Amino acid sequence: MATTSHVDHEFDSLRTLLATANERKTGDELAGIAAESDAERVAAKKALSRVTLRELRENPVVPYEDDEVTRVIQDAVREPVYERIAEWTVADLREFLVDSSTTDREIRAIREGLTSEMIAAVTKLMSNMDLALASSRMTITARCNTTIGEPGTLSFRLQPNDPADDVENILDSTREGLSYGAGDAVIGINPVVDSPENTASILETTHEFIEEWGVPTQNCCLSHVTTQMEAVRDGAPADMLFQSLAGTEAGNDEFGIDVSLLDEADELARRRCSSSGPNVWYFETGQGAELSGDAHEGIDQVTLESRCYGLAKRYDPFLLNTVVGFIGPEYLYDGRQVIRAGLEDVFMGKLHGIPMGIDACYTNHMEADQNDIETLAITLAAAGSNYFITVPMGDDVMLNYQSNSYHDAATLWELFDLEPIEPFGEWLAEMGIMENGRLTERAGDPTVFA
């Protein structure tokens, strides 16, 4: 219970308290679990600040025996680390994370004692600036063919989708994106047709292009994981596997996956993917995914998103990005909610130890515009996001939504004195596209690949 303006507010469970303490999201309102007033939200934050990490560990939002995502999260906790911090309150954890003397090494030292519910809880007590500050202190690297996340670098996924899966159109868009310096995170294509044959065709096309031009990056085709597994078993050159994740067992069932399938795919990827590894997974998540599949279990969006990262951690991915504004205004109504969710997601992922990126994006029926997305990109570049997704002219003509554009990469590098990863920067210099860390006059001209 907490009191504001002489009014008592009572919360009947930690699940209710976590939902009520959330910043305003249309998805939580649609689910009927959001705070009914700002006063109730403040009271919930006040009450949540006094909850101990032990109470959160002992009361997961879905019981251990009912949900395999809960079991993955709980079983991954290192008990000696947890016992050192179990009596901390959520407020204590927040103070630790925003204290100017706290280092990345000290955050790493407690990471394995945290559950996803603890991380979601502290997120609800943090302002946007708190989230950016704490995120910026955490360095998370990962290696597939190349290594991303090193200090001083900012990477980009090149997303050359085509509404007809025409491989020549995909290659044309790939050449354009690379000519702007984008693509060191991955060349990743969302296919229209989810078949092993089409997946193999896209993987072979991108693999051959990468080999021909010596591009230091990795490829991925974002079909369903079972489709990719079949293609890889037939010899398709995939550098990593992809799959969308949810924060509940029921949500993952909607995606057609479970932990057993992911374990099987993980074993296959480590044996058969064409990259040197060891990180061979690309995951995507997004606030509202569970509600859209009627699999939210009465849990708020932030806590569910945090549980996605708890599940992803089991597979030590190379990339994980939230598609923050992609799911629509039913879950994140406007630019303000998208910006808040993007900051929450990158912070929560990094606190889990995940190499986080973001698709800073919005759908055309959302109260948001390109300025909101650029504001989020600037904020998350400051917060140390590993990578962003980029599409031609900020408009994905296959998925019909808006994101960052290929040419946004140069602006973010210049604003924050960042560069692409070292081998990719050297390759750009050899191609005459980059000099002394900045794009040359040849940038944006895909005929450099003629």
Which residue positions form the known binding site for substrate? 157-159, 190, 284, 359
Annotated binding residues, as ranges? 157-159, 190-191, 243, 284, 292, 359, 398
What CA–CA distance (Å, rounded) separates 356 from 373? 17
The tokens describing 319, both together, are 């990339």
CB-CB neighbours of 163 under 10 Å: 12
What CA–CA distance (Å, rounded) separates 152 from 221? 28
What CA–CA distance (Å, rounded) separates 426 from 372? 32
Annotated binding residues for adenosylcob(III)alamin, as ranges? 191, 243, 292, 398
What CA–CA distance (Å, rounded) separates 129 from 435? 34
Look-up of token digits 């962003």: 388
Torsion (CA) 154, 161, 353, 147 in degrees, nearest 10: -50
390 strand-pairing partners? 158, 404
